[in-house]
Amino acid sequence: MLRNAAYGPKTVVQPGKQVEQPVLDSAANAPEKATFDSAEGYELSAIAQQAVAAIHQWVETSDLDAGETMADRLMSLFVGIADANKDGELDDDEQEIVEAALNAAWDYLESMGVDESDISALLNDWDDTVANNVIDLVATTLPEGEDAADQMISTFAFGDDEQGAVFDATYAKRIVVRDGKKVRVNKRIAGTVRLSAKQKVAIRKMQAKSHSAKARAGRLRSFKARKSMSI
């Protein structure tokens, strides 16, 4: 009985009769795979939204601690995306989230006109000289006003009614899992990153940017679009 419930009834072979082999119903399995891919893509887009919010918050930085660099502040913001208990230690799952966020940040900075070599120096080596140059460039290209900046964050990650998202979650997924693509962000954040009080405040502000009304609306549109496509 238990075997029949798990595997179906046992086939009885008649003498001289060929057993018909079962055929996997790939069409039936397709919706399940599409749902999985869609869920993963949605999560990557949500991480991308936080990554852009981190960059916007970073550009606004005016309260560095003594001895803290702009590169240090950026690193702390990305640690804050994944580090739920804010203890500065990242486990393997949290490292994966940070890696996805950094690759999304790479795409965003590239779309803002930052040179790839500078992006690599910033996100792989946390070079402070490059960090200040990148801030100067990004600051001149950001829109004026909080609403416009929020819309920019949402559009990058999820798109809007007029265009698709700038961020390609499918491509990002290949980057993260190292499937036939060169991993652009190739260095993990090692050791413990002790978050200062000012850094924790910056993280809270970054999180507020990624949870604004426009950010939530972008996620809702993305969810509705996937639902309408039955994925």
The pLDDT score that the predictor gives to residue 178 is 40
Name, in order, each residue with C-beta under 8 angstroms of 107's C-beta and a sequence gap of 6 or more. 48, 166, 167, 168, 172
pTM of the predicted model, to two decimals? 0.65
Name the token pair of 42.
Answer: 């949605």
- Residue 140 Cα distances to 49, 147, 199, angstroms: 20, 17, 24
The set of residues, in sequence order, having a beta carbon less than 8 Å from that of 226 and lying 6+ positions away, is: 38, 42
Express each pLDDT in 47-72 by its tens digit: 888 999 999 999 999 999 999 999 99
Q: What is the mean pLDDT of the chain?
A: 71
Q: Residue 204: what pLDDT?
A: 86
Q: Where in the chain are the domains? A: 46-225
pLDDT tens readout for residues 120-134: 999 999 999 999 999
- 208, pLDDT greater than 90: no
**Residue 213 to residue 170: CA distance in whole angstroms:** 26
Distant-in-sequence, close-in-space partners of 98: CB < 8 Å, separation ≥ 6:
78, 79, 81, 82, 90, 188, 189
Helix and strand numbers, DSSP H then E, in the chain: 10, 0
**Range with the largest mean pLDDT of 84-98, 103-117, 150-164:** 103-117
